[in-house]
Copies of this chain bind each other. A is one copy, B any other.
């Protein structure tokens, strides 16, 4: 049971463990979230083997859910959802809300993973509440092993941009905000199980840095899409 898990805290993953063909819903979720390249998909699904990902993509292609193409510029293969694939969004969302509501307490916080959390945060971050310049936020997970303890989000928020980079090695920029917490707390916030304010009051989250960035963390931190109604 344990060995076969997806190692993900995402509610879709938890629902899929019993209901779904292995990895299939998660591949679709990654595509729905906007990943298009093979190794981007692998990044969102760290435990999938390349052989199986390839197989799943071919199956979904046969089913008419995925279309394989080549990027005009780079010539790299890209995978996109067809209209039928996009239409699976309600199914995946329904699974996610159900998992969030009914499986969260059992599984969510047993499948912590800093890289998936940070990768999701990078993807959903909302730069608009941030000042219109480059912003660097450092995350320190006190309870995580040395190699994955520190992360940097570098948000290029100059007007017209909005790109977010995720680094595991110090990018060298001045840090605008230091976030220190434990992985479980940050994941719970991300899942909408608690708020930034509550975590600060509990003493499980500390913020040091620019007050205007600190104050709006709950806003620029885009929450998991399943966090709202859960």
Q: How far is the CB of A110 from chain B (nearest CB, A)?
A: 15
A94 close to chain B: CB less than 8 A: yes
CB closest chain-B residue, reference A25: B19
Interface string of A64-104 (1 = CB under 8 A from B): 10000000000000000000100110110011011001110
Chain A, 93-144, CB within 8 A of any chain B CB = 94-95, 97-98, 101-103
Q: Please state if A98 and B88 are interface contacts (CB–CB under 8 Å).
A: yes
Residues of B within 8 A of A63 (CB): 18, 103
- Beta-carbon contact of A98 and B90 below 8 Å: yes
Closest beta carbon of chain B to A22's beta carbon, Å:
8
A24 touches which of B18, B60, B84, B103 (Cβ 8 Å): B18
Distance between Cα atoms of A64 and B87 in the complex (Å): 29
**A91 touches which one: B60, B91, B103 (CB < 8 A)?**
B91
Among B20, B64, B102, the residue within 8 A (CB) of A64 is B102
Supposing A21-B20, A24-B18, A24-B19 touch, asked if A87 and B59 sit within 8 A by C-beta, the answer is: no
Contact residues in B for A24 (Cβ distance below 8 Å): 18-19
Q: How many copies does the complex hold?
A: 2
Q: Are A91 and B95 in contact (CB under 8 A)?
A: yes
Residue of B21, B91, B98, B103 near A98 (CB, 8 A) is: B91
Q: How far is the CA of A15 from the CA of B19 in the complex (A)?
A: 12
16 A-B contact pairs sorted by A residue (CB < 8 Å): A15-B91, A18-B21, A18-B59, A19-B20, A19-B25, A20-B20, A63-B103, A64-B102, A84-B101, A87-B98, A88-B98, A90-B94, A90-B97, A91-B91, A91-B98, A94-B94
Please name 4 further chain A to chain B contacts, defined as beta carbons within 8 Å, in addition to the given A88-B98, A90-B94, sorted by A numbering: A19-B91, A63-B103, A91-B91, A91-B94
